Amino acid sequence: MSAGTEMAIRARGVTKLFGRGTDQVVALDGVDLEVAEGEFVCLLGRSGCGKSTLLSMIAGLTRPSEGEIDMGGRRVGMMFQDSNLFPWLTVEGNIHLALRLSGAPKDQWADRTAELLDMVHLPGMQLRRPHELSGGMRQRVALARSLAQDCQILLMDEPFAALDAITRDALHDQIERVWAERRLTIVFVTHNVREAARLGDRVVVMQPSPGRIAEEVRVTLARPRKMDDPLIATRAAALHDKLDKYHVIAEQGRTS
């Protein structure tokens, strides 16, 4: 990061403990992380490394046991692996709820909803209900709902993990486009090395037991990127080797 770059997220000495006494688990231990304004950062790691726990604390859904996280008052939106749409509401109703919570004037809701659905390539879908949509379409609505909150920071917790490869690739293109158009800061959790190399400006590799940041890798490939690009495959292979290395280190730490 260049000198003078403004930080959207600063985490200092973040530790998270679960349980008490002999049952206590250290999910995260002394994590320091800075994310620059407008940066796309992927948190990469195997299950149990604390990446979703860290994201949850950045979102304010849970508090650190130690340390602090500062976002300078920026508005935060979050997407999960499941779209979490309200099934009894239409697409329009789900987005209107987010607009109401953000304080948007009611007379703007219809226009804003149409604009957001155009942005995620779902024009005219206002009156559909979630059960009428495919998994990929539901995730697009979830993205539109997050953007309806006028968020400056978008947190994404493996939002495409349950989708087929073709749908996932299409959504990668869309999130990259929305990120650029809205000048968002994105923190994206994944265990998929190709996804991390495809999307991230920077990949934060996490080590488990307890969760720590092991290494940070810059991805300097030009955008837009494609998943089948040989350069993506090369970077993904290098990231996979790093995950293997830190998994071995963690296993050695548990048995020593």
pLDDT of the chain along its 256 residues, tens only?
544 579 999 999 999 999 888 888 899 999 999 999 999 999 999 988 999 999 999 999 999 999 999 999 999 999 998 899 999 999 999 999 999 988 999 999 999 999 999 999 999 999 999 999 999 999 999 999 999 988 999 999 999 988 998 999 999 999 999 999 999 999 999 999 999 999 999 999 999 889 999 999 999 999 999 999 999 999 999 999 999 998 888 777 776 6
pLDDT of amino acid 152: 95
pLDDT of amino acid 134: 94
Query: How far, in Å, are 27, 30, 63, 74 from residue 18 at the CA level?
Result: 7, 15, 11, 28
Any bridge partners for residue 207, and if so which? Answer: 212
Residue 81 tokens, joined: 């692996």
DSSP strand pairing (202-207 vs 185-190):
unpaired
pLDDT of amino acid 48: 85
pLDDT of amino acid 63: 95
Identify whether 224 is preceded by a cis peptide bond (ω within 30 of 0). yes
Are 50 and 28 a contacting pair, CB within 8 Å? yes
Containing H/E element for 61? none
Domain edges within the chain: 7-74+152-255, 85-149
pTM over 0.75: yes
pLDDT of amino acid 4: 55
Euclidean distance between CA atoms 60 and 182, whole angstroms: 22
Q: What is the CATH number of domain 7-74+152-255?
A: 3.40.50.300
Are 57 and 14 a contacting pair, CB within 8 Å? yes
